[in-house]
Amino acid sequence: MLASLWQQLSDSPVPIDSVDLAWAGLAPVMILIGGALLILAVDSLVPRRLRPGSYALATVLLAAGAMVAAVPLWQRVQDAERGPFATAAGAIMVDGFSVFATFVILSAVILAALSFDGWLRREEMDGAEPYVLMLLSASGGVMMASANDLIVMFLGLEILSIAVYVLAAMHLRKITSQEAGVKYFVLGAFSSAFFLYGIALIYGGTGSTNLVRIATYLSATVLGDSGLVLAGLALLLVGFGFKVAAAPFHFWAPDVYQGAPTPSVAWMASGVKVAGFAGLLRVFYLAFSTYRLDWQPVIFVLAVLTMLVGSVLAVVQTDVKRMLAYSSINHAGFILVAVQAATAAGVQAALFYLAAYTFMVAGSFGVIAVVSRKGDIGTSLDDYRGLSRDRPVVAFAFALLLLAQAGVPLTSGFFAKFYVITAAIEAGSSTLAIIAMITAVISSYVYLRIIVAMYGAGDDVPAPRTIPLPAAAGLALVISLTVTMSVGVFPGTLASLAERATPVLIPESDPGAVDPSGVPPGP
Amino acid sequence: MIAIAQVTPVWYLVLASVVFAIGAVGLLVRRNPLVMFMCVELMLNAVTLTFVTFSRMLNDVNGQTVVVFVLVVAAAEVVVGLGIIVALLRKQPSATADDLTVLKG
Amino acid sequence: MLPTLLAELSAQNVVTTPLTQAVVLPFLGAIVVSLIPRGRAELHRVVALLFAVGTGALTLSLLAGFDRQDSGFQFQVNRVWISDFGISWHLGIDGISLFLVVLSGFLFPLAMVAVAPSHDPKPYYAWLLVLQGGCIGVFCALDLFVFFVMFEIVLVPMYFLILGWGYADRVYAALKFFIFTMFGSALMLVGIVALTFLNRDGVVEANQARVATIQSEMATVQASQGLSGPDTPVDPAIAASLAAGEARIERLLNPKLNFDLVTIAESQTVTDTSTGASPFDWGAARWIFLAFALAFAVKVPLFPLHTWLPDAHTQAPTAGSVILAGVMLKLGTYGFVRFGLYLLPEPSVFFAPALVTLGVIGIIYGAVVATMQKDLKRLVAYSSVAHLGFIILGIFALTTVSIEGGVVQMFNHGISTGALFLLVGMIYERRHTRDISSLKGLQKSAPILAAVFTLVMLSSIGLPGLNGFVGEFLVLVGSFLTRRWFTVVAAAGVVLAALYLLWAFQRVFHGEPDEENADMADMNWREGLVMAPLLVLIVFLGVYPKPMLDRIEPAVARLVSHVENHSDYTEPAVATTGVGVDAPGEDGG
C-alpha cells in the first residue's frame, strides 16, 4: 500500500520549485555545522567520557577539513574561466574574499581549540560545549564573510554572536565570566537591533536587501532624498562597530576580554573580528561604494578615535588581558584605516592585516591562558614577573608576538602596518597614516611594559613557580609564531593571496538558480 | 469631530521608530538585566514592524520573509540570553547592572 | 620549501656576494648561538666570537677590495624581495659607508671580548650578533625599505641588552630609548611610503613627453593605413605594433612603486624650484624630509631630542654603551648623509641652516652639561652629544671638505668614544662605581690604564697627531667657508671638550689614592688586547689619514655635485681647490 502511495506521489506532475544550491560552495559552512552537531550528539549519547582531548582533536580536524573543502573553491574562483559565483538565489557569494576570510577564520578556530584543550582540563571543565559553540560561531563568521544579502549577513552575525555570548559566560565558577557574558550579551543584542534596523531602513530606501541589487539600484538611480539609506548605513556601522570593537562602541571589550575565559577571548579577538571586518568591507566597500564620499569621513573619525582609545587607555592598565583588549582596539583602528581607503589596495591591506593579526593575537591569548592559574586568574602584570626565568621559551615567544603586534620589522605585524600605511597614503589620507603610526608607538609602550615585566624583574623577582605547558597549547604557540615570523621575512605569498582575494558583486551566476522575487526594486 | 486622516504607512514607520527609541533608551537607563533584555526585544519588534511596513509599501514579499527570520533569531537570543542572565542571578540574586562592577578599569 | 628557497637564492648569487654575507652572517650566528643548549656556557662565547670575528674579517676584505677610484656604489647586489611593491634586496657601499661598515665589523668582536656578561650569556651574545647584522645592514642598504627594516630592527636587541644586562635604572632607560627612537622612525615609515608615491607621480609626469611621442607615432601609423581612431588595422604586424604601443603607454603611465634609493635619488631630474618646473613635488618632499630628519635627529641625537642618550648610555652594559656610542649613533648621521643629502638634496639644502644651528647648540650644550656631570659614564655620554654636533655641522655645511670631515669624524668618534666607554667599564668593574668624586689617584695604582686613558682622551679632545683631530679640523676648515660664525662657536666647543675631559681626568687619575682606590688592579692582558687595535688606529689615523681620506673623498665629491645638480646650491669655489684635504695628515706627521 505504501508502495502504491509512493508511486502515486512520484507521478505527481508538478515538481516543487526549489532554490538551486551549489553545495560545494557551502561545503565549509556545512562541515562546521554538521561537525558541531555531530560532536554534540556524540557527547550526549556516549555514556562514558571520551579520552581527554578528543573533542579538541575533532574540532581541529573539522576546521582543517573545512579548509580542505575551501581549497577547490579558491582554485575555482581564481580560475579565469569559472571565477566567483553566487549561489542560494544570490544570497551567498563565493569569491576570493570570502574564501580568504574563511581560511583566516578557520585558522582562528584551530588556534583557539588548541588553547582550549589544556585550559579546560586545568579548570576541570572537560566537555564538548566550548568546541561545539566555537564551531557554530565560526560557521556564522564564514556566512558573514560570504553574505551577499544583508539578511544572510544578519543571520551570520547572530549565529556568530549568540555562540560567543555563551563562550564568554562559560566559566560557571567564576563570577567575572558570568558578568562578562551578561555585558556582552546585552550590548551585543543591543547592537544587533541597531544593525537590523539599519537593514530595514536600507530595504525601505532601495527596495532590496541583496547587495548586488542595492549596488545596481544605487548606481542607476539618483535618490532625491537619500536620508533613509544614509540613516540605515549609519545604523549598520553602529552594529559593525560593536562587533569589531571600534570606538566609541568599544567599551564592552576590555570588560569582556578580562572576564571571559581566556581561550574564548582568543577566539573573540581573532575570529569574531575577522568576520566583523569581512562583513563591514563587503557592505561598505562593495554595496555602498557609490556612497563612499558619505561614509569615508565617518570611518575616518572612527579610525582616529579607535586608534587613540586603543593606544592611550591601554597605557594605564595593569591587567594583561585588559592591555591586550585595548591593543586589539588599536588594531581595529588600523584596519579601519585600510577600510577608509576604499580601494583595492585597502581591501588587500585589511585582509593581510586580519590574517597576520589573527595569528599574533590568538598566540598571545594562548600564552595568557597558559600563564594564568586555576580559576582563570593570575593575569595581572605582576604575574608575569620572572616569566623569562620560569619559562624562558614561552616568555621569548610571547615577547616576539608582542613585538609583532608593535609592528617591529621582520614580523608579520610590521608588514601589516606597512600595507595599511601604503594603502592610506595612496588614497590620499596621509594624515590618517601619520596618526596611525603615532598611536602605534604609544601602544608599543604597552607591549614593552609586558616585556619589561617578563625580562626586567630585577632582584625582587617572586619565587619561582612551575607553569605547565600543555602540548596542544605549545603547538598553537609554535604555529602562531612560525606564521608570524615567516610572513615577517617573506610576506609575498600572503600578500599576493590577499591581493587575489577581491570581493566581487555579481548576480547569481550558477545556471538554474531561481530568482525568488520577480519584483523590480524601487518604491 | 476632527476626521482622522487615513492611516498611511508612514504612521507605522513613525510608530516603529518611536518604539525602537523607547527600547534603546530603556536599555540605557534601566538597571535590571531582565528589563534591559526586554528592551532589546522591544527594539527587535520595532524593526519587525518596519520591515512589514516597507514590504507593504514596496509591494515586495521579501520584507515579510525577513520577519520570520527575525522572529527565529529573537527566540534564539531569548533562550541563550535568559540562560546567561539566570546563571548570573543565581550567583548574585539581586544583581542589577550597577552591581556588575567586578570588571572595570 | 626552505631548500627550494635557498637554492633559488644561491642561483641568484644573493648568498655569495660579500655584502649579503656580512649582513646575514651575524643573524645566522644569532640563530646558531640560540640553538646551543644552555648548559654549554663557554660555547656561547666562542661561537658568538667566531661569527663576529668572521663578519669583521669580511668587512676588512671589503676594505681591501674597495676600488678607491670609483666614487659610486661598489659590491652591489640587487635582487627582488617583494615584487608587488618594487622592494628589492639592494645593498652596496661607497666611500662614505665603507668605514662605517668596517667599524661595525671590528667593534663588535672587541666589545664581546672586552666584557663577559654577568649572567645569561646565550641571549646576550645572540642579541649582540643581531645588533651587528642590523647595523651593517643599515650602512649597506640601498633600498629604502631594507634600510627602514634594518634601522628599526636594531632597536630590539639594544632594548633587550639594556633591559637584561643594564644597571639599576635600566627599565626606565630601555623604555625611553625604545619609545624615543621608535617614535622617530614611525613617521619615517610614512615618509618613505609617501616618497615612493611622490616619485611615482614624478615618473609619470616625466613620462608624459614619451607618451605623447608614442601616441603621435601611432597616429602616423594609423593615418598611413588610412584608419581612424578605434579601427583595427588589417595587417597583423601593424596591429601588433599598435598594441605594443598601447602597452608601452600603459606601462609608462602606471609605473610600479619603487623603493630603490639610487633610482629615486637620481630620478629627480629637473631642479628649477623657483619656477616649479621639476616633475618632483619639492613642497611635499620637504615634509618628507622632516619625517626622515626626525628619525635621524632622535638617533644622532640632536638637541633637544637627546634626552634618551645619557640614560641609555649610563644604564646599558659596557658592551651596549660601546656599540651605542660607537656604531648606533652613526645610524643617524649616516642617515642624514645618505637619506638626507643624497636622497632629498633640495630639502636638505633648505633645512641645512636649521640643522647646523641645532648641531652647534648640541656642541656647546653637550660640552657644558658634560662639565657638570658627576658620573664618569654620563660625562662621556654628553661628550658624544657634542661630538655628534660637529658631525652634523660638517654634513650640513655642505662643502666637500666639511662633509668629508664629518664622515671621518663618524669613524673616529666610534673608535675613541668606544674606547672611552670600554675604559670606564674597566674602572667600574674594579671599583663598582662611576662616581668621579669617589675615584682618586688611579694613576698610582693602575699606571697602564691611566696611560691608555690619556691617549684615548686626547684623541677625543682632538689633539693634533691623533685621529680625533683630523675629522674636527676638516669640519672646521670646510664649514668656515659657508657657515663662518657657526664655525667660530663650534671651535669654542673644542676648547670646552679639552676642559671637561682634562678636568675629569685630573680628578680621577691624579692625586694620592685613598684606601679604596689604592689597590685597584691594573689592566690585564685581555683588556690590553682589546685596547691595542683601538690605540693603533687612534695613532695611525692621526698620523697618516691619507688612505682613509682617499677612499672617502671621491664619494663625498660626487655627493656634493649631486646636491648641486639637484638644488640651487653651489659650493663656494675655495672649497674645491683642495685646501686642507691633505693638509692635516702632513701637519700631523
Rounded mean pLDDT of A494-499?
Answer: 87
pLDDT at residue A514 above 50?
A: no
Contact A196 B61 (CB under 8 A): no
Residue of C127, C171, C294 to mutate, interface with A, max A Cβ within 10 Å: C171
Helix (H) or strand (E) holding A94: strand A92-94
**A518: closest CA of chain C, how far (Å):** 40
Q: What is the pLDDT of residues A400-439, one digit of tens each?
A: 999 999 988 889 999 999 999 999 998 888 889 999 999 9
Position with higher pLDDT, C162 vs C515: C162
Q: Which tens digit of pLDDT belongs to each residue from A63-112?
A: 999 999 999 888 888 887 787 888 877 888 888 899 999 999 999 999 99
Quote the CA–CA distance of C479 and C471 in Å, as a whole number.
Answer: 12
Parse chain C into domains and list their residue ranges. Answer: 17-166, 183-300, 316-589
Q: With contact defined as beta carbons under 8 Å apart, do A173 and A124 qualify?
A: no
Averaged pLDDT for residues A221-230: 78
Predicted confidence at residue C512, as pLDDT, reads: 78
Neighbouring C-beta atoms of residue C251, cutoff 10 Å: 11
Contact A196 B62 (CB under 8 A): no
**A157 and chain B in contact, CB less than 8 A:** no
Give the residue on B whose Cα is nearest the Cα of A260: B103
Q: Positive or negative, the Cα torsion across B98, B100, B102, B103?
A: negative
What mean pLDDT comes out for the span C554-578?
76
Is some CB atom of chain B closer than 8 A to the CB atom of A209? yes
Nearest to C186 among A425, A438, A499 (CB): A438
- Chain A residue numbers with beta carbons less than 8 Å from the beta carbon of B92 are 175
- CB-CB neighbors (< 8 A) of B40 in chain A: 186, 189-190, 193
Q: Give a yes or no: residue A146 inside a domain.
A: yes
Domain count, chain B: 1
- With a pLDDT cut of 70, the percent of chain C lying above it is 90
Which residues of A lie inside 8 Å of C (Cβ-Cβ)?
A: 403, 406, 408-410, 414, 417-418, 421-422, 425-426, 430, 433-434, 437-438, 440-441, 444-445, 448-449, 451-452, 455-456, 458, 490-492, 495-496, 499
Amino acid at C551: R
Instruction: Give the amino acid at A261.
Output: P
- Work out the average pLDDT over C105-130: 86
Give C60-111 as a DSSP string: HHHHHH--TT--S-EEEEEEEEEGGGTEEEEEEE-HHHHHHHHHHHHHHHHH
Q: What is the mean pLDDT of chain A?
A: 87
pLDDT bracket for residue A520 (50, 70, 90): very low
Cell of C170: 635600566
Residue C444 vs residue C186, higher pLDDT: C186
Query: What pLDDT score was predicted for residue B99?
Result: 62
Q: What is the CA radius of gyration of chain A?
A: 23
Residue at grid coordinates 646650491: C569
**Phi/psi at A86 (5° precision):** -105, 150
Within a domain: residue A9? no
Hey, is the C-beta of C44 within 8 angstroms of any chain A C-beta? no
Q: What's the pLDDT score for residue A359?
A: 95
Q: Which chain A residues touch B50 with a CB distance below 8 Å?
A: 197, 200-201, 204
Residues A185, B63: C-beta atoms closer than 8 Å: no
Count Cβ–Cβ pairs < 8 Å, chain A vs chain B.
Answer: 136
> Are C189 and A495 a contacting pair at CB < 8 A?
no
- Answer yes or no: do A422 and C179 touch at CB < 8 A: no
A513 within some domain: no
Instruction: Work out whether the CA dihedral C280, C284, C290, C292 comes out positive or negative.
Output: negative
Q: At what angle do helices A273-280 and A320-341 cross, to 10 degrees?
A: 20
Higher pLDDT, C35 or C572: C35
Q: Tell me if B70 sits within 8 A of B3, measured CB to CB.
A: no
Q: Residues of chain B with pLDDT > 70: what percent? A: 84
Here the ipTM equals 0.91
> A185-216 burial, b if ≥16 CB within 10 A, otherwise e?
bbbbbbbbbbbbbbbbbbbbbbbbbbbbbbbb
- Tell me the count of A-C CB pairs closer than 8 A: 82
Classified as helix, coil or strand, C486 is helix
Q: What is the 3-state secondary structure (H, E, C) of chain B?
A: CCCCCCCCHHHHHHHHHHHHHHHHHHHHHCCCHHHHHHHHHHHHHHHHHHHHHHHHHHCCCHHHHHHHHHHHHHHHHHHHHHHHHHHHHHHCCCCCHHHCCCCCC
Q: Label residue C368 exposed, middle or buried (CB < 10 Å: 0-12, 13-18, 19+).
A: middle
Residue B40 CA to residue B30 CA, distance in Å, equals 12
Mean pLDDT of A119-138: 88
Highest mean pLDDT among A24-28, A295-299, C256-260: A295-299
Q: Supply the range of the domain harboring residue B19.
A: 9-100
DSSP string, A360-425: HHHHHHHHHHHHSBTTTB--BGGGGTTHHHHSHHHHHHHHHHHHHHHT-TTSHHHHHHHHHHHHHH
User: What are the distances in angstroms from CA A234 to CA A231, A251, A440?
Assistant: 5, 19, 27
Is A236 in contact with A282 (CB distance < 8 Å)? no
pLDDT of residue C586: 40
Report yes or no: C346 and C265 within 8 Å, Cβ to Cβ: no
Contact map slice: C 95-154 vs A, CB within 8 A: 148-150, 152-153
Residue C269: is its pLDDT beyond 70? no
> A425 and C193 in contact by Cβ < 8 A?
yes
Q: What pLDDT does residue A515 have?
A: 41
Residue A128's pLDDT is: 86
Nearest to A172 among B27, B53, B87 (CB): B87
Concatenated DSSP letters for C309-375? HHHHHHHS-HHHHHHIIIIIHHHHHHHIIIIIIITSHHHHHHHHHHHHHHHHHHHHHHHHHHHT-SB
Residue owning grid cell 516543487: A16
A200 Cβ under 8 Å from any chain B Cβ = yes
Q: How far apart are CA C297 and CA C332, in angstroms?
A: 6
Axis crossing angle, helix A344-371 with helix A96-122, rounded to the nearest 10? 10
Residue C515 has pLDDT above 80, yes or no: no
- Do chains A and B touch by CB distance (3+ pairs < 8 Å)? yes
Contact with chain B for residue A523, Cβ under 8 A: yes
- Strongest mean pLDDT among A377-381, A412-416, C159-163: A412-416
Range scoring the smallest mean pLDDT among A6-15, A255-264, A285-294: A6-15
Contacts of A490 in chain C (CB under 8 A): 5
- Residue A435: per-residue pLDDT: 92
Q: Measured in whole angstroms, how far is the alpha carbon of residue A475 from the centre of its chain?
A: 21
- The minimal CB distance from A492 to the residues C82, C149, C164 is found for C82
Residue with cell 676600488: C67
Among candidates B50, B83, B103 on the partner chain, residue whose Cβ is nearest the Cβ of A258: B103
CA distance C508 to chain A (A): 30
Tell me the shortest Cα–Cα distance from C232 to chain A, in angstroms.
26
Can you tell me the distance from the alpha carbon of A51 to that of A16, in angstroms, rounded to the nearest whole number?
47
Give the model confidence (pLDDT) of A182-197 as tens digits.
Answer: 889 988 999 999 999 9
DSSP C438: G
| Subunit contact A448:C171, Cβ cutoff 8 A | no
- Interface residues of B toward A, Cβ cutoff 8 Å, are 13, 20, 23-24, 27, 33, 36-37, 40, 43-44, 46-47, 50-51, 53-54, 57-63, 66, 69-70, 73, 76-77, 80-81, 83-85, 87-88, 91-92, 97, 100, 102-105
Asked whether residue A514 is domain-assigned, the answer is no
Q: Is residue A510 part of a domain?
A: no
Q: How far is B54 from chain A (nearest CA, A)?
A: 5
Residue type, A151: I
In angstroms, the CA A135 to CA A305 distance is: 33
Distance CA C38, CA C123 (A): 10
- Is the predicted pLDDT of residue A485 greater than 70, yes or no? yes
User: B48 with B78: CB under 8 angstroms?
Assistant: no
The confidence score (pLDDT) of residue C270 equals 46
Q: Residues of A with CB below 8 A from C150's CB?
A: 409
- Mutation to test the B interface, candidates A157, A184, A186, most B Cβ within 10 Å: A186
CB within 8 Å: B43 and A151: no
Pick among B49, B58, B82 to test the A interface (most A CBs inside 10 A): B58
- Type and span of the H or E element at C517: helix C515-518
Asked if C163 lies within 8 A of A409 by C-beta distance, the reply is no
Q: Which residues of chain A have a CB within 8 Å of the CB of B24?
A: 190, 193-194
pLDDT > 90 fraction of chain A, expressed in percent and rounded: 49
Question: Hey, are the CB atoms on A197 and B105 less than 8 Å from each other?
Answer: no
- Condensed to tens digits (0 to 9), the pLDDT of residues C50-74 reads 999 999 898 888 888 888 888 888 8
The domain total for chain A is 1
The alpha carbon of residue A490 is apart from the nearest alpha carbon of chain C, in Å, by 8
Point out the residue among B54, B60, B84 whose CB comes nearest to the CB of A165: B84
Q: Which three cell numbers stand for residue A449?
A: 611594559
Residue B105 lies in a domain: no
Q: How many C-beta atoms surround the C-beta of residue A520 within 10 A?
A: 11
Contact between chains at C160 and A455 (C-beta distance less than 8 A): yes
A97 and chain B in contact, CB less than 8 A: no
Residue B3 falls within a domain, yes or no?
A: no
- Give the pLDDT confidence score for residue A452 in this predicted structure: 86
A93 beta partners: A86
Is A183–B40 a contact, with Cβ atoms under 8 angstroms apart? Answer: no
* Within a domain: B20: yes
8-state DSSP, A134: H
pLDDT average, residue stretch C446-457: 87
Radius of gyration of chain B (CA): 18
The reported pLDDT for the residue numbered C304 is 85
Q: What percent of chain C has pLDDT over 90?
A: 10
CA neighbor of C490 nearest in space, from C522, C452, C462? C462
B24 in any annotated domain: yes
Query: Which cell is C281 given?
Result: 613635488
Kindly tell me if the per-residue pLDDT of A24 is higher than 50: yes
Most confident segment among A311-325, A448-462, A496-510: A311-325
Is residue C531 within a helix (H) or strand (E), and if so which, with residue range?
helix C525-543
Of A189, A192, A517, nearest to B61 by CB-CB distance is: A517
Chains touching A (at least 3 CB pairs under 8 A) are: B, C
Contact of C152 with A440, CB cutoff 8 Å = no
On the question of a cis peptide bond just before residue A248, with omega within 30 degrees of 0, the verdict is yes
